[in-house]
A and B are shown apart, each in its own frame.
Chain A
Amino acid sequence: MSTSAAPLLEAKDLVKTFHLGGPFARSQQEVHAVDGVSFHVDARETLAVVGESGCGKSTLGRLLMRLIEPTSGSIRLEGEELTEKKGRALLPYRRKIQMIFQDPYGSLNPRMTVQDTLADLLRIHGIARGSSAKQRVGELLETVGLPASSAKRYPHEFSGGQRQRIGIARALAVNPQVIVCDEAVSALDVSVQAQIVNLLEDIQVEFGLSYLFISHDLTVVRHMADRVAVMYLGRIVEMGEAESIFEHPRHPYTRALLDVVPVPSATRRPHRTVLKGDIPNPLTPPKGCHFHPRCPFALDRCRVEAPKLVPTGEGLVACHRWQELPSWDHATHVPGDPGGRLERLQARFADGAAVRSYGSRSG
């Protein structure tokens, strides 16, 4: 690939190993939280990283933000290597890549008003000061659907959904190109989640953002993602266009995940494969293919040799047997009823969606 076509954000062979036990511990243990992960994110696209707890998806997000140092590997933003940059040299990079967390309350200073939090950020990055900062804070809040007057309030005065809007406003403050969303909508109630998902989609178009969308919730991922990477115990096991991952999953783990996503529907799905057991302890991952102890298709080869990510024509998959697996035809979606009663009734909520909604707290 020529340099002119360099992707916006690129990670290559990223590895993060955590060492457990202090210097005096009797035994040193290692967790390969991220174990040789490579991917790229193009401009204006959403790459979703999915997987169960302990698969390393959050560690991956933290690595990209340089909140933790990678053990090895490279992270490039617009072709520029970032793993070597430190301190002040990182500041311009931090403007380009921002993060939204699962728990917005934990990521806001409870003793600072929204105005102070956001104005600090604008000052540190040299974007605005004084009255222009005040005006910018107001604009930011309105962008995320909060009244400009809410700047005077403290984080505890907002509901969960409103706090997540503040988290989004903070990420937007520095005009980033990429936002890492780490379980950004997972803790929210369904109706609030829908509002935030819509907001994320709106600002993506408005500001030309790319998302690295980390989530365990496959229904939200299906809605948001252009491409999907499925992780299992620190490794990507399948990656490809969202449509192909959801319609023709190749990896047995991806299939198992899709099979168990609960979908509200009038008809109960008759066929499903429920995986046995839990995710193995990451301290002692299974040899060979990490997934083999839970895989219904595992052979001897899978127990000794770790499969590499290979192109399938539609994407990448890390499975020795991907070509031999039976075809997958489980529709995971609710059969649509385009133009039906429910859809027409739901369309009546649409004007409400266009108006960015917020509620003011009484008292």
Chain B
Amino acid sequence: MRNETFRNPPMSLPLENLAGAAAEERPGDPLMSVRNLRVSFATEDGFFPAVRGVSFDVLPGQCLGIVGESGSGKSVTSLALMGLLPPPPGTIVEGEVHFAGRDLRKLRPEEMRKLCGNEIAMIFQEPMSSLNPAFTIGDQIAEVVRTHENVPARVARARALELLQEVQIAAPERRLDEYPHRLSGGMRQRVMIAIALACRPRMLIADEPTTALDVTVQAQILELLRMLQGEYGMSIMLISHNLGVISEIADDIAVMYAGRIVEQAKAAQLFEKPEHPYTIGLLGAIPTRGKSRLVSIKGRVPDLLSLPPGCPFAPRCPFMVPEICCGTEPPLIAVEPQHSTACYRAPLDQVL
């Protein structure tokens, strides 16, 4: 009975809408295009639907920011794209992932392995857990170079040095022979970025890349990502819980709530004229100057195993009207070109 909501997914999805809007504005296909992605985890209590139908495009040379709180499904989405879900319990139930014209879900494991690292790379929040403590920085970068390119060790090492210079590590020659524990958190993240850059990927997925870092170091890493994006025309998918961090480099922003995208827009549009009540509440919850009291969204994130009928945000939403909001889940539809929201009450100007 608990799985009822999951087995009967809402039918309407805004695929045409999204694709249409993107095609109108910009010539050229998106680099990555995700359609109706559903991921669930087998648990003792039934199938836990972590991602419930997510669609988005990442355009060449652009940065898509995905923002959401814990449990919104943002990290699971990125792991699913890279084929890094632990199977079992995690499985992609449905959906399409196209990257540069290829259907990633149809690739064989060897092909996928080649693509990951070569064309799509990923960095994580905790760089120490991605680095091997028993090997030097130089060896670890060189290993990646040699996995993807057939070059002698000497060349790979020279390439590792170049990469460290590129990510602006202080004293790169010395770092080559150092072990990860000798580096600070910021430097480790730079090493991870160097590894990610080893094969000049066309797309970088950065999952909370600055969350554990101090603000000054966070600014350095964001600056570096922005530079890489500009210099190499790399696409970035930046995942963060921090709207401030997202606003530093994202061109487009998708807001996730309870496993779905509830609002998607150009960055400026999202901050100037947000349309989804959750986005509005989230922006109000961030302390800024002159705010006498923070917006407090009542209650908490729903349990995905027993979602309320209708809009998952309805129980916490001040604009909720039971007859409208508690029937079926609202689809993500465009309110303006390049701006969609999953809210029956949008545009919210009408409720003011």
Residues of chain A at the chain B interface (Cβ within 8 Å)? 52-53, 159, 161, 189-195, 197-198, 201, 216, 218-220, 222-224, 246, 256-257, 259-268, 272, 274-279, 332-334, 336, 338, 341-342, 344-346, 348-353, 355, 357, 359, 362
Contacts and interface: CB of A to CB of B under 8 A. Distances in A.
Given A191-B282, A345-B352, A349-B281, A198 B293 contact: yes
B290 A336 contact: yes
Given A190-B286, A264-B243, A349 B296 contact: yes
Given A53-B214, A189-B69, A348-B319, A268 B170 contact: no
Contacts of A224: 287
Contacts of A259: 219
Given A257-B215, A266-B267, A345 B280 contact: yes
B283 A264 contact: yes
Nearest to A160: B70
Interface stretch (B33-41, B140-148, B268-276): B268-276
Contacts of B306: 362
Given A194-B295, A357-B298, A218 B215 contact: yes
B288 A357 contact: no
B281 to A, nearest CB: 5
Contact of B288 (A159, A268, A333, A344): A333
B289 A222 contact: yes
A346 B281 contact: yes
Given A198-B296, A274-B216, A223 B287 contact: yes
A164 to B, nearest CB: 13
A333 B244 CA distance: 12
Contact of A349 (B70, B241, B297, B303): B297
Contacts of A267: 268
A332 B288 CA distance: 9
Contacts of B69: 189-192
A265 B286 CA distance: 11
Interface stretch (B49-57, B114-122, B172-180, B245-253): B245-253
Contact of A268 (B186, B248, B316): B248
Contacts of A276: 220
A265 B290 contact: no
Contact of B268 (A216, A219, A266): A266
Nearest to B245: A262
Nearest to A344: B352
Contacts of B268: 266-267
Interface of B: 69-70, 170, 184, 186-187, 214-220, 222-223, 241-248, 267-269, 271-274, 277, 280-291, 293-300, 303, 306, 316, 318-319, 348-349, 352
Contacts of B289: 222, 246, 332-334, 336
Contact of A189 (B241, B273, B293): B241
30 contacts: A159-B300, A190-B69, A191-B69, A191-B282, A191-B296, A193-B285, A194-B284, A194-B285, A194-B294, A197-B287, A198-B296, A220-B287, A223-B288, A223-B294, A262-B222, A262-B245, A264-B243, A266-B247, A266-B269, A277-B170, A278-B217, A333-B290, A341-B349, A342-B274, A345-B348, A346-B295, A348-B318, A352-B298, A357-B298, A359-B300
Contacts of A341: 273, 349, 352
B286 A349 contact: no
A265 B219 CA distance: 16
A275 B298 CA distance: 39
A192 B286 CA distance: 11
Contact of A52 (B216, B319, B352): B216
Contacts of B288: 219, 222-223, 263, 333-334, 336
Contacts of A222: 287-289
Contacts of A351: 318
Given A342-B280, A353-B293, A362-B306, 16 more contacts: A190-B242, A190-B286, A191-B282, A194-B297, A218-B215, A256-B216, A262-B248, A264-B286, A265-B247, A266-B271, A275-B219, A276-B220, A349-B298, A352-B316, A353-B295, A353-B296
A191 B297 contact: yes
The 3 closest A-B pairs by CB, nearest first: A262-B244, A223-B287, A194-B285
Contacts of B349: 341
A306 B267 CA distance: 44
Contacts of B316: 352
A262 B306 CA distance: 35
B244 A346 contact: no
Contact of A261 (B70, B244, B271, B352): B244
Contacts of B187: 278
Nearest to B272: A266
B247 A190 contact: no
Nearest to A345: B280
**A53, A256, A272: residue with the most chain B Cβ atoms closer than 10 Å:** A53
Contacts of A159: 300
A190 B282 contact: yes
Nearest to A256: B216
A197 B288 CA distance: 13
Given A222-B289, A277-B170, A190 B298 contact: no
Contacts of B241: 189-190
A333 B289 CA distance: 6
Contacts of A261: 215, 244
A195 B298 CA distance: 8
Given A267-B268, A274-B223, A349-B281, A219 B244 contact: yes
